[in-house]
Amino acid sequence: MERQKILFADDDPEIREVLRLLLESEGYQAVEASSGTQVLEKLDDSVGLVILDVMMPDINGYGVCAEIRKRSAVPVLFLTAKSQDSDKTLGFSAGGDDYLVKPFSYSELISRVKAMLRRYYVYGAKQSEPEAVIRCCGTVEIDPRQCLVRQEGREVSLTDTEYRILLLLASHPAKVFSVQNIYESVWNEPYFYSSNNTVMVHIRNIRRKLGDDPQNCRTIRTVWGRGYRIE
């Protein structure tokens, strides 16, 4: 069985060495980069996960993630000492899927890595029986078999996390999902109040990519005091 490839970047050689040994001990193919430029040079379709430090000498992690999103929906995990909520918001706004603050335990990192890879490959795998295309809001189509979202025939590029949020809501039309429902269903982790901002940023990104007017959202509707729903 081919080993899953993980591309990771940090400008500290000692941290890169630790990450490489840790990932390889778990059976992954570890590809290291010392700068944002190297990440973009080494990224290809065989990479199943990218781990990014935020503070790098040429392009910071947010900028690298934004560039990755122009060409791939591969999951991105930020690994950084920057722990403020505003830093996390920047990471999610750039298209990141998860955020782990240094110092971290090795077991927590590996748990996040396994969960992100599992979700990515499960949602990205071809299924033996094609599932029906889900239509919502009149112009939006979700094809679970190919993990594609189209709007008026145009493919919409969503990250893995954004896709899973949209699919969750669209699979249960008119049902109102609380932020807690969404977080625990998509991230598969216990909900904390601080998770609110994480969910809100991803929903804002989905709305922007679907061309929603901020004053009149036609896709994911806010039900004040309760959560979000889709039609």
- Do 157 and 212 fall within a single domain? yes
Determine the pLDDT at residue 51.
96
Task: Select from 93, 124, 155 the last residue of a domain.
Answer: 124
- Do 75 and 107 fall within a single domain? yes
Is the separation of the CB atoms in 8 and 23 below 8 Å?
Answer: yes
- Do 98 and 202 fall within a single domain? no
Q: Quick check: is 184 in a domain?
A: yes
Which of the 8 DSSP states describes residue 218?
A: S
- Do 140 and 51 fall within a single domain? no
Q: Quick check: is 49 in a domain?
A: yes
pLDDT tens per residue across span 154-182: 888 888 889 889 988 888 877 899 999 89
Whole-angstrom Cα distance, residue 76 to residue 177? 25
- Do 42 and 138 fall within a single domain? no
Q: Quick check: is 66 in a domain?
A: yes
User: Which token pair is 141?
Assistant: 């189509």
- Do 95 and 115 fall within a single domain? yes
Q: Quick check: is 116 in a domain?
A: yes
Q: Quick check: is 129 in a domain?
A: no
Report helix angle 179-186 to 195-209, nearest 10: 90
CATH code for position 10: 3.40.50.2300
Task: Write the burial class of residue 85 (CB in 10 Å: 0-12 exposed, 13-18 middle, 19+ buried).
Answer: exposed
**pLDDT (tens digit, 0 to 9) for every residue of the chain, 231 residues total?**
468 899 999 989 999 999 999 999 999 999 999 999 999 999 998 999 999 998 888 899 999 998 998 888 889 999 887 767 777 778 888 888 888 888 788 888 998 898 888 877 765 543 334 456 777 777 888 887 677 888 888 888 888 889 889 988 888 877 899 999 899 888 877 888 888 889 999 999 999 898 877 666 678 888 888 888 887
- Do 37 and 112 fall within a single domain? yes
In sequence order, which residues have a C-beta less than 8 Å from that of residue 191 and are 6 or more positions away?
179, 180, 183, 184
Whole-angstrom Cα distance, residue 214 to residue 177? 20
Determine the pLDDT at residue 77.
93
- Do 115 and 180 fall within a single domain? no
Task: Select from 124, 148, 174 the last residue of a domain.
Answer: 124
- Do 11 and 107 fall within a single domain? yes
Q: Quick check: is 156 in a domain?
A: yes
Q: Quick check: is 154 in a domain?
A: yes
- Do 215 and 149 fall within a single domain? yes
Any idea of the CA torsion for 230, 182, 72, 93, to the nearest 10 degrees?
90
- Do 10 and 100 fall within a single domain? yes
Q: Which residue has the tokens 């069985």?
A: 1
Q: Quick check: is 51 in a domain?
A: yes
Number of domains in the chain: 2
Instruction: Find the domain containing 118 and state its range.
Output: 5-124
Task: Select from 104, 124, 144 the last residue of a domain.
Answer: 124
CATH code for position 180: 1.10.10.10
- Do 89 and 198 fall within a single domain? no
